[in-house]
Copies of this chain bind each other. A is one copy, B any other.
Amino acid sequence: MWKPDRHSRQPLYEQIADHIEQRIAYGEFPPGSLLPSERKLAAELGVNRSTVIMAFDELRATGIVERRTGSGTRVSTTKWEIAPKHTPNWKRYAQGGQFLPNLPFMRKIREALTRDPSLIDFASGELAADLAPINEIAALMSEHRYTSYLGYDNPQGYIPLRQALVSYLAEHRNIRATEASILVTSGSQQSLYLITQCLLSPGDAVAIEDPSYCYSLPMFQSAGLRLFRLPVDPYGVHPEDVRALYKKHRIKMVFTNPNFHNPTGTVLAAERRKQLLEAASELALPIVEDDPFSLTAYEGTPPSPLKSMDEIGSVLYIGSFSKIAASGLRIGWMVAPREIAERLADARQQMDFGLSVIPQQVAAQFLSSSYFAPHLKRLRMQLLFKRDLLVEALNKELPDLIRFAVPSGGLHLWCKLVPEIHDGRLLEEGIRRGVVFVPGSVYGSDSGFVRFTFARARTEDIPAGVAKFAEALRAAIGG
Q: State the A residues within 8 Å of B (CB).
A: 1-2, 22-23, 25-31, 33-34, 80-81, 83, 85-91, 93-94, 96-99, 101-102, 107, 110, 124, 126-127, 129, 132, 134, 137-138, 141-142, 145-153, 155, 159, 176-181, 185-187, 189-190, 193, 197-202, 217-219, 222-224, 280-286, 310-314, 322, 326-331, 335, 337-340, 342-343, 346-347, 349-359, 362
- In the complex where A30-B312, A96-B199, A190-B351 touch, is A86 in contact with B283 (Cβ < 8 A)? yes
- CB neighbours (8 Å) of A355 from chain B are 186, 330, 356
- CB neighbours (8 Å) of A283 from chain B are 86
| A193 partner, pick from B90, B150, B350, B356, beta carbons under 8 A | B350
Contact B310 A27 (CB under 8 A): yes
- CB neighbours (8 Å) of A357 from chain B are 328
Contact A356 B356 (CB under 8 A): yes
Contact A30 B127 (CB under 8 A): no
Instruction: State the CA gap A124–B27 with chains docked (Å).
Output: 35
Contact B286 A93 (CB under 8 A): yes
Number of copies of this protein chain within its complex? 2
Which A-B residue pairs are the 6 nearest by beta carbons? A30-B313, A86-B284, A150-B326, A150-B328, A85-B281, A28-B181
Contact A129 B102 (CB under 8 A): no
Contact B351 A193 (CB under 8 A): yes
Instruction: State the CA gap A398–B145 with chains docked (Å).
Output: 44
- CB neighbours (8 Å) of A22 from chain B are 178
- In the complex where A101-B347, A155-B110, A353-B327 touch, is A282 in contact with B28 (Cβ < 8 A)? no
| A87 partner, pick from B107, B313, B338, beta carbons under 8 A | B313
Contact B330 A352 (CB under 8 A): yes
Minimum distance in angstroms from A125 CB to a CB of chain B: 9
- CB neighbours (8 Å) of A177 from chain B are 26-28
| A150 partner, pick from B137, B178, B222, B356, beta carbons under 8 A | B137
Contact A337 B149 (CB under 8 A): no
Given A80-B312, A329-B358, 14 extra CB contacts under 8 A = A23-B178, A23-B180, A23-B181, A29-B337, A31-B312, A86-B281, A88-B285, A94-B340, A124-B152, A129-B150, A153-B328, A189-B352, A330-B352, A355-B356
Minimum distance in angstroms from A339 CB to a CB of chain B: 5
Contact B181 A27 (CB under 8 A): yes
From A91, A312, A327, residue with most partner B Cβ within 10 Å? A312
- CB neighbours (8 Å) of A25 from chain B are 176
- CB neighbours (8 Å) of A33 from chain B are 337-339
| A97 partner, pick from B90, B198, B312, beta carbons under 8 A | B198
- CB neighbours (8 Å) of A29 from chain B are 337-338
Contact B129 A138 (CB under 8 A): no
Instruction: State the CA gap A146–B142 with chains docked (Å).
Output: 10
- CB neighbours (8 Å) of A93 from chain B are 199-200, 286, 340
Contact B353 A362 (CB under 8 A): no
Instruction: State the CA gap A361–B359 with chains docked (Å).
Output: 12
21 A-B interface contacts by CB (under 8 A): A23-B178, A27-B335, A34-B339, A80-B311, A85-B312, A86-B281, A87-B281, A87-B313, A90-B340, A94-B199, A94-B342, A96-B199, A97-B343, A98-B223, A129-B149, A134-B149, A147-B326, A151-B328, A185-B352, A217-B350, A219-B350
- CB neighbours (8 Å) of A217 from chain B are 350
Q: Considering only CB atoms, which chain B residue lies closest to A185 in the complex? A: B352
Instruction: State the CA gap A178–B93 with chains docked (Å).
Output: 21
Contact A352 B101 (CB under 8 A): no
- In the complex where A88-B284, A126-B151, A314-B88 touch, is A27 in contact with B330 (Cβ < 8 A)? no
